[in-house]
Amino acid sequence: MDYNLFGNSGLNISKYALGTIPFSGTKGFEKVSDMDQETANYMVDYALDQGINQFDTANLYAKGDAEIVLGKAIRNKRHDMVISSKTGFPLTDNPNDVGATRINIESSIDATLERLGTDYIDLYYVHCWDGQVPVNETVQVMNDLIKKGKIRYWGVSNYSGWALAKTHTLAVENNMMPPIAQQIYYTPESREAEYELLPAGKELGIANSIWSPLGEGLLRVK
């Protein structure tokens, strides 16, 4: 397995990462999988054994249950795992439980850390662009979380090219930490990330991490 520094950061990550959408397979994610804790533990062990050090989750996956399963699978391996999670999609009807706002990000990270059973995560993504909140608010709160030691780095996911550049520029022009990675959808069937996102990430020092490389199961063909 090859390792590289993730974007313009000191975080060393494996080329392959283990995703956790199928962990648990409950709370609306029954179509994705039906996975028990023992299998999840095996997956973490096997991935680590194969040199994979990156484990990705989100509060969206099984509405928090995937984080609980990943958290139990950490056992005594926390130091060897680079763990990322995400927030932004609504999980409740509370109008403040959504988006890239200070109130949602601050409450989401605490819930995520509790479910994972860890004091910090390595990388925290905004799961989708929020055009209803000032970018400055998002950048500020992510930098605050870094200062509090709750996250080490932050990133974005599913942004448009201009939104990525706006976010990055606003951060660096104000001497704040910009996103170090973006998680984006890219498969041979769907290559639109080449238009803007992939070259923008490279030019900005934002690592390009690909979610669902098999097209959400579309390319899992015999």
Partner 1 sequence: MVPLGRGATTGKITRNKKAEPGTRQGNGWPEPYIKNLDLFYNLVDLLQDVAAKHKATVPQVVLAWLRDRPNVDSVVLAARNKEQLHENIASYNLKLTDEDISQITDLTALEPIYPLWHRAMNSYDRASNAEKVYLDAYNKLMNSKSQDI
Find tokens 């639109």 and name the residue. 192
Query: Parallel, antiparallel, or unpaired for β 181-185 and 207-211?
Result: parallel
Residue 208 interacts with partner 1 (CB under 8 A)?
A: yes
Tokens of 150: 């709750």
Exactly one of 32, 105, 121, 171 binds partner 1 (CB under 8 A); that residue is 32
| Contact assessment for residue 156 and residue 164, using Cβ atoms and an 8 Å cutoff | yes
Query: Per-residue x/- marks for partner 1, 48-87, CB under 8 A?
Result: --x-x-x-x-------------------------------
Q: Where are the beta strands (DSSP E) in 102-150?
A: 121-126
Residue 8 interacts with partner 1 (CB under 8 A)?
A: no
- Taking Cα atoms as reference points, which of 102, 108, 68, 106 lies closest to residue 87? 108
Q: Which stretch binds partner 1 (CB under 8 A): 27-35, 88-96, 142-150, 168-176?
A: 27-35
Residue 162 interacts with partner 1 (CB under 8 A)?
A: no
Task: Please indicate whether residue 61 is annotated as part of the active site.
Answer: yes
Of 133 and 193, which CB lies nearer to partner 1 in the complex structure?
Answer: 193
Phi, psi of 97 (to 5 degrees): -95, 50
CA atoms lying within 13 Å on the CB side of residue 181: 27
Q: Which of residues 172-201 bind partner 1 (CB under 8 A)?
A: 181, 183, 185-192, 194-195, 198-199, 201
Residue 220 interacts with partner 1 (CB under 8 A)?
A: yes
Distance (Å, rounded) from C-alpha 4 to C-alpha 108? 29
**CA angle in degrees (0–180, nearest 5) for 161-195-152:** 45
Positions touching partner 1 (CB under 8 A) are 1, 4, 6-7, 13-22, 25, 30-35, 39, 42-43, 46-47, 50, 52, 54, 56, 181, 183, 185-192, 194-195, 198-199, 201-203, 207-222
Active site residues: 61
